[in-house]
Amino acid sequence: MTAGPAAPTPLLELEDVVVEYPGKGRRAKPFRVLHGVSLSIAPGETLGLVGESGSGKTTLGRAVLGLAPVTGGSIRYAGKPVSGLGKRERRALSKDVQVVFQDPFTSLNPAMTVMDILTEPMLVTGVSRTDAERRVQTLLDQVYLPHDAAQRLPREFSGGQRQRIAIARALCRDPKLIVCDEPVSALDLSTQARVLDLFIEIQEATGVAYLFVTHDLSVVRHISHRVAVLYRGDIVETGHAAQVTEHPEHAYTKRLLLAAPVPDPQRQAQRRAERLRLARERDAS
Amino acid sequence: MTVPETAAIPKRDRLLRRTLRDPVAVACLVILALVILASLAAPLLTDYAPDHSVLSDTLAPVSGAHPLGGDGVGRDVLSRLLYGGRTSLLGGTLAALVAFLVGGPLGLVSGFYRGWFDAAAGWIINVIMAVPAIIVMLVVMAALSQDLNVAMIVLGVIMAPMVFRLIRASVVSVREELYVDAARVSGLGDPRIMRRHILPVVVAPSVIQATQLFAVAIGIQAGLSFLGLGKASQASWGAMLNDGFTNVYTEPTLLVWPGLAMAVTILAASLLGNAVRDALGTTETRVVRRRRPGPRKTAAGGPSPSDRLLTVEGLRISYPKPGRSGGSDGSDGDKIVVDGVSLTVERGEVLGLVGESGSGKSQTAFAVLGLLPNEAEVTADQMSFTGKELLGVSQAALNALRGRGIGYVPQEPMSNLDPCFRIGSQLVEPMRKHLGISRSEARTKALELLARVGIPDPERVFKSYPHQVSGGMAQRVLIAGAVSCDPHLLIADEPTTALDVTVQAEVLDLMRSLQQEREMGMILVTHDFGVVADICDRVAVMQTGRIVETAPVEKIFASPEHAYTRMLLDSTLEGGPARAALGAPLKEVTS
């Protein structure tokens, strides 16, 4: 954990966070997904969290949202501990901490119109319906969806547009932090680039911070100020995006980098040779 | 608070409208309405009280005074039929209502919160289920009350587990949906989440269950009163059956009326439930049309070179538009997903089929494999594999080709292995069928293949079930299966999309080495230009059902001709600049 504190007062701070799921059966040992993870996010910053499936990256995001059982360490938001909060305090925090999920097809209730989906989080906090509906128009502008989108159902939209709706829902109460759980991995390449640019544009306009969970190194490089690499429940490397994605220190990050194929036949052939050489060395030692 | 209604009503409204489009449902509703009306209007329709017995009317024939005659003790049959309807309808409703009042909230809370409450409720429910229903009701009626309605309330409690199970299961499944998590993160309280997101999903299956419980309860109630239970003053269809049964030799028609009433009511309720279920299950009416072979042209391009594995010319795939029987809007009303695709694969060549979702790349691959759904309409000027026609041939001929000629590697390794069978048997069976070898030979070959695809412990994996191996392993198993019958052509549909990058690299290595070693042709469907650069010789770029550009791989990347190809290549993030660190001062701190 080299990069040190990101800013004097971090927005979000994780210290030795342990997440365990109870094992099956009475005496079974709990299954430990995160083994003491520490990281911090400054206001307005994007921290990219990379790792392969099973590394615990999604669980880390869910722990921050209060959706995963934190059994050790502490999560602090704006200096105040938020792990193990009661339901009421947690709800109060929902103004500041929001989420965009991976799958834009199941993260929107198919039976509700876009207007209902977007006004719901505002109405629970006592915003009047007319105010909420006015705000929806601004939100739709912000994510570049047409105004008549509000009257339609999620299934009438493409994957990229649905993800825009999910982003609008996350934005509707002006959060300080959005946990983005693989928000572009279900999208087509060209859509992916546009949605990422939307994320960056919104960040520059509103100063929101992102915890951006992904398995794709090129995505994380594009959007993150800093990158943390998660491997089997431990953070093995943290640093600036350029540093981690160009000069990785940890062997796993190197392997991860070389494994991602690049769209250039000659360079890819070189990388493949390099990767196979590394693999042979590892086998030999 | 008008919020919950706005969310739930459109859906329920649609359900109601769809149900009403079904003539069976309408008939059932009309019948049930008639039965209910007749029972309610009993005093208007008959002058006799149901328990008023006149000795001279014993087994009276059909007459103006007694339209359906008199029963064994001189009561008017029509009157008893109408008033008995009240008992039956009330009993059925009571039982269903109580079942939902007990089972519904329990199931809702159990499914939503799980934990100790779920465990405790599960125990209680199991105990209730273990109790023999008829005996309990006999005891209740003997010891507590002769009233049939009391028995129906007890029946409701006994049937509550069915409701509990149903509601708990639907709540558990919807609770896992991401939109419920999203609602929680939005700061919604539990009651609100239940009302807005959970209840609307539970309503539909509950309606179906309620109609079934209603029908079952009417049957059981009739059974009880047929056995002679219940108050003598309470007219019921079961009691009428009992009376008819004692007089079956002298007046058999006495059995007909109550039997008919029960059959009609129970049938109407059950069929209504089925109709609601059908309305739920199908969002649109589907037109199923058989595939038809395309217009056969003799290959115009002369004899194809002997190294040509696959020739596709002018492939066109369309689906009938849902909810329309075609031809209503001037055109033929079909949705065309692949429009005039032509491609060739040579021996030992890897062809990349690239495009975004909806471009028709997978549909093209499936058409070659003959795996499109039945309603797909496939036509082509030519589609042949090593000179043999693929379109319009019998399933048997296609099966023979698919096994030995064309292998297939799917996108989702896990869903393409049958969870009920060991991996070994899934590899051995196709080999025995297509290669005609013995079980032990096939076993040896399968173990060799598993070792060849880089599985460290072939014996163990051979004996494992699919859920016991990782996704990467499962994909290796499927690759082993795809090449097991020595195909000439391998079709891989996004074979590495579901895998981690490190695993993807290994699987691509494996596919490349197998392809070179066996000189297979290969079609690789993908959206990832990195994968294309890694493994393909030639690339066909697809956009909305058409191939816009085909070129050798170096040329596609060096000088793409079509604007769409350029756009796709430009949107890859690979090689772009990394985002700068946040704020200048921060940079100084860390550098």
DSSP state letters, B360-390: SHHHHHHHHHT-S-TT-EEE-SEEEETTEE-
Q: Which helix (H) or strand (E) holds B335?
A: strand B334-346
Q: What confidence score (pLDDT) does residue B375 get?
A: 80
The token pair that represents B16 in the structure block: 């109601």
Range of the domain at A270: 250-285
Chain B residue with CA closest to A225: the answer is B581
CATH tag for B308-570 (out of 3.30.505.10, 3.30.70.100, 3.40.50.2300, 3.40.50.300): 3.40.50.300
Tell me which amino acid residue A133 is: E
User: What is the count of structural domains for chain A?
Assistant: 1
Contact list, A121 vs chain B (CB under 8 Å): 186-188
pLDDT tens per residue, range A74-106: 999 988 888 777 778 888 888 899 999 988 888
Residue from the list A87, A123, A262 with its beta carbon closest to the beta carbon of B533:
A262
Contact list, A69 vs chain B (CB under 8 Å): none
Residue B171 has pLDDT above 80, yes or no: yes
The predicted model gives B525-543 an average pLDDT of: 92
Q: Give the span between the Cα atoms of B179 and A55, in whole angstroms.
A: 24
CB contact under 8 A, B500 and A242: no
Is residue A273 included in any domain, yes or no? yes
Q: Does residue B414 belong to the interface with chain A, where contact is any CB pair within 8 Å? A: no
pLDDT tens per residue, range B241-296: 988 888 888 888 888 999 999 999 999 999 998 888 877 764 433 333 334 444 44
Is residue A5 included in any domain, yes or no? no
Q: What confidence score (pLDDT) does residue B231 get?
A: 81
Residue B106 has pLDDT above 90, yes or no: yes
CB contact under 8 A, A225 and B178: no
Decide which of B12 and A60 is more confident.
A60
**Angstrom distances, CA of residue B561 to CA of B72, B205, B356:** 94, 55, 18
CB contact under 8 A, B572 and A242: no
- B 555-584 → A contacts, CB under 8 A: 557, 567-569, 571-582
Contact list, B504 vs chain A (CB under 8 Å): 259, 261
pLDDT tens per residue, range B124-161: 999 999 988 888 888 888 888 888 889 999 999 999 99
Residue A3 has pLDDT above 60, yes or no: no
Q: Does residue B189 belong to the interface with chain A, where contact is any CB pair within 8 Å? A: yes
Residue from the list A67, A111, A113 with its beta carbon closest to the beta carbon of B200:
A111
CA of B387 to nearest chain A CA: how many angstroms apart? 32
Residue from the list A7, A125, A218 with its beta carbon closest to the beta carbon of B187:
A125
Residue A136 has pLDDT above 90, yes or no: yes
Contact list, B112 vs chain A (CB under 8 Å): none
Range in A209-218, A241-250, B30-39, B277-286 the model is least confident about: B277-286
Question: Which of A1-5, A254-258, B262-266 has the highest average model confidence (pLDDT)?
Answer: B262-266
Chain A residue with CA closest to B176: the answer is A106
Contact list, A91 vs chain B (CB under 8 Å): 187-189
Q: Give the span between the Cα atoms of B505 and B143, in whole angstroms.
A: 75
CA of B571 to nearest chain A CA: how many angstroms apart? 5
B contact test, residue of A240, A257, A270 with most B CBs within 10 A: A240
Q: Give residues with Cβ within 8 angstroms of B426, minimum separation 6.
A: B417, B418, B477, B481
Is residue A241 included in any domain, yes or no? no
Chain A residue with CA closest to B14: the answer is A111
- Residue B333 — pLDDT band, cuts 50, 70, 90? low
Contact list, A218 vs chain B (CB under 8 Å): 572-574, 576
Query: What is the fold, at CATH topology level, of the domain defined by B10-46+68-281?
Result: MetI-like fold (1.10.3720)
Decide which of A274 and B290 is more confident.
A274
pLDDT tens per residue, range A161-210: 899 999 999 998 899 999 999 898 888 888 888 899 999 999 999 999 99
Q: Does residue B392 belong to the interface with chain A, where contact is any CB pair within 8 Å? A: no
Q: What confidence score (pLDDT) does residue B293 get?
A: 47
Chain B residue with CA closest to A242: the answer is B578
Q: Does residue B509 belong to the interface with chain A, where contact is any CB pair within 8 Å? A: yes
Contact list, A221 vs chain B (CB under 8 Å): 573, 576, 578-579
Residue from the list A3, A226, A256 with its beta carbon closest to the beta carbon of B502:
A256
Residue from the list A3, A113, A219 with its beta carbon closest to the beta carbon of B590:
A3
- Residue B3 — pLDDT band, cuts 50, 70, 90? very low
Q: Give the span between the Cα atoms of A82 and B445, in whole angstroms.
A: 57
Mean of the per-residue pLDDT values of chain B? 84
Q: Does residue B196 belong to the interface with chain A, where contact is any CB pair within 8 Å? A: yes
The predicted model gives A222-247 an average pLDDT of: 92
Contact list, B283 vs chain A (CB under 8 Å): none
Residue A224 has pLDDT above 70, yes or no: yes
Measured on CA atoms in the order B479, B481, B482, B486, is the torsion positive or negative? Answer: positive
The predicted model gives A247-269 an average pLDDT of: 88
- How do beta strands A234-240 and B406-409 pair? unpaired
Q: What confidence score (pLDDT) does residue B281 get?
A: 61
Q: Which residues of chain B are in CATH 3.40.50.300 domains?
A: 308-570
Q: Which residues of chain B are in CATH 1.10.3720.10 domains?
A: 10-46+68-281
Mean of the per-residue pLDDT values of chain A? 87
Half-sphere exposure of B5 (CA within 13 A, CB side): 2
